[in-house]
Amino acid sequence: MTPKPIDLDHISEEQLLATRIQDLPISIEGTWLKECVDQLYTELDGKGLVFHPECYLADEWLTPEGEVAVGVPFYLAHPVLIKLERRMMLEAEGEGKLWCMQLLRHEAGHAFSYAYNLHKKREWQKVFGSSKEEYGSTYKFKPYSKSYVRHLDGFYAQYHPDEDFVETFAVWLTPDSDWQKKYQGWKALEKLQFVDGLMTSIKGVKPLKARGKKLWHHKNLSITLDKYYARKYRHEGEELPDFHDVQLEKIFTSLTEEEWWAFQKDRRKYAKRQLHFPWMQEMVTAEELIRAHSKNILNSIDRCTGERKYIINDLLKNIALRAKQLRMIVAQPQAVALMQLSVYVTSLTMNYIHTGWFRGTRKRT
């Protein structure tokens, strides 16, 4: 019996999550992704480059090491899947033409490096370093460094020599980027000029390797969407808002929306009468407590751990934001709450120093 065709426009979420990725009726052809791929090729043509990396639907954005085909996340191929990705992971990486083109140019840089063996050239290595350098599970960056271009978020060019090159390539390829002016006075300009000369040397030249394996192609993924997201959640949980929830619930108290408004009403009612009601000074939100003492916490942890202040500061900001989203208040003595918060942030910082992540390490499964 022939299985009933899947209609993504009229399928329940329960049925969709039970569907294997390989069974999804999706492709790049006939979608907005095809327009993005065509634009990439047009940009390459405009630079006189004859190699067009083949693009295919995969489980994530990727260009496998040594391969010359670009994997584009399967969920971008249909509005229903984009909506599901956004609901499950809070955002759909590459959604929208601007973001998609940024990522396509980045991945195209990898494909060009492998297609022409650019990373093996001695001059390339003098500029960017050794491509054989091991990829860490994460990386530490200098946000104010002018030695690297800024293309993708997270100062990604600082991750690895390969990423330094492809991010530089992406900026160089981007139409109207005006990189000569934008990066004037930066050391990164030398890298852009090198890429400009390198690309000039392969104008009209056919690649050494034009086609390769399409690893993690969506047609080979037998995993169902619910299991895919369970795996993805484990892999990327640290970047999700509820990463801190379990610990925050041990330190602060969450209010319902109705309780929250009643709390705020009481605060306004007694705001001008604190001399008569000293206990009012203890009626503070978790966000207020964190922000009021963040400088002292930051300085103390910086002195104890030696970690850079902006790392600790960003962590505190994220915790304060999450506490606000959860409508948390301080329901115990503030000194106790501050001690517990400091211990939590210190433990996360120490783990970051040793693993590169705030909790544990990540591996692709």
Write the pLDDT tens digit of every residue in 142-185: 778 899 999 988 788 888 999 999 999 999 999 999 999 999 99
Q: Which helix (H) or strand (E) holds 126?
A: helix 122-128
* CA–CA gap between residue 35 and residue 43 (Å, rounded): 12
pTM attached to this predicted model: 0.69
Looking at every residue in the chain, the average pLDDT score rounds to 87
* CA–CA gap between residue 281 and residue 303 (Å, rounded): 30
Least confident range of 43-57, 187-201, 293-307, 330-344? 293-307
Q: What is the pLDDT of residues 55-104, one digit of tens each?
A: 999 999 999 889 999 999 999 999 999 999 988 876 789 999 999 999 99
Burial of residue 269 (CB within 10 Å: 0-12, 13-18, 19+) is exposed
Phi, psi (rounded to 5 degrees) for 268: -65, -35
How is 61-108 classified by DSSP, letter by letter?
A: SB--TT---EEEEGGGGSHHHHHHHHHHHSS-TT-SHHHHHHHHHHHH
Contact 352, 262 (CB under 8 A): no
* CA–CA gap between residue 163 and residue 153 (Å, rounded): 13
Burial of residue 20 (CB within 10 Å: 0-12, 13-18, 19+) is middle
